[in-house]
A and B are shown apart, each in its own frame.
Chain A
Amino acid sequence: EVQLVETGGGLIQPGGSLRLSCAASGFTISNNYMNWVRQTPGKGLEWVSVIYSGGGTYYADSVEGRFTISRDTSKNTLHLQMNSLRAEDTAVYFCARGRSNYFDYWGQGTLVTVSS
């Protein structure tokens, strides 16, 4: 059974850093492309970043240069390093597995709140 479990969210001050993790089971993350998607009440669902099976990465313009996606294949875990956090980064962050360029399985999400 495919499972994705995100951890690492919390309350952080503007300008701070946070690292999210997504532990995967039931499949091997390096054989798939993996994504981070965030959700806010105001902006809805927003794709954030992708890491392909070959290691290539892409980011939404809103996080380019501040966020870094990576994976630890030994632990079958996806990460999102978030630096220079802003109030507008406040959201529930989901990891999602890619299949044929859409997302088939999602984790339950982890809440990130950026506030002083």
Chain B
Amino acid sequence: DIQMTQSPSTLSASVGDRVTITCRASQSISSWLAWYQQKPGKAPKLLIYKASSLESGVPSRFSGSGSGTEFTLTISSLQPDDFATYYCLQYNTYWTFGQGTKVEF
């Protein structure tokens, strides 16, 4: 099974900050990685797919990079609506999620 290790688990930030979240795969997954945002009591929302492709309607301050085993989600300038928990998902072999990163004030 492919394991996904996400870091940090919690991130304290302020509006306007540049935020970076990392996801590492236990083996190469090429670019088969997606990023999701989840707010309490809500379903996950797709932000990025294929490591760096921005989902339609998602603000351009979100970006993704990486390939192989190391991936990054970057929020260029954190907005009040961005305080949430973020998850990575590998879909190279079945599906495995990272443990999540809570972005808090």
Contact = CB atoms under 8 A, between A and B. Distances in A.
Give the one of A44, A45, A108 with max B CB within 10 A: A45
A58 B43 contact: no
B89 A94 contact: no
Interface stretch (B10-18, B59-67, B73-81, B96-104): B96-104
Contacts, number: 47
A15 B99 CA distance: 28
A116 interface: no
A102 B91 contact: yes
**Size range of the chain A interface in the assembly:** 10 to 19
B43 A94 contact: yes
Interface in A21-65: 35, 37, 44-47, 58, 60
Interface string A90-116: 000010000011111111110000000
**Interface residues of A: mostly helix, strand, loop or mixed?**
strand
B19 interface: no
Nearest to A47: B95
B43 A102 contact: no
Contacts of B46: 102-105
B53 to A, nearest CB: 10
A47 B49 contact: no
Contacts of B43: 94, 106-109
Contact of A102 (B42, B89, B100): B89
24 contacts: A35-B95, A44-B97, A44-B98, A44-B99, A45-B87, A46-B97, A47-B95, A47-B96, A58-B94, A94-B43, A94-B44, A100-B50, A101-B32, A102-B34, A102-B91, A103-B34, A104-B46, A104-B49, A105-B46, A106-B43, A106-B44, A107-B43, A108-B43, A109-B43
Interface of A: 35, 37, 44-47, 58, 60, 94, 100-109
Given A102-B32, A104-B55, 14 more contacts: A35-B95, A45-B87, A45-B97, A46-B97, A100-B49, A101-B32, A101-B91, A102-B91, A103-B34, A103-B46, A104-B49, A106-B43, A106-B45, A109-B43
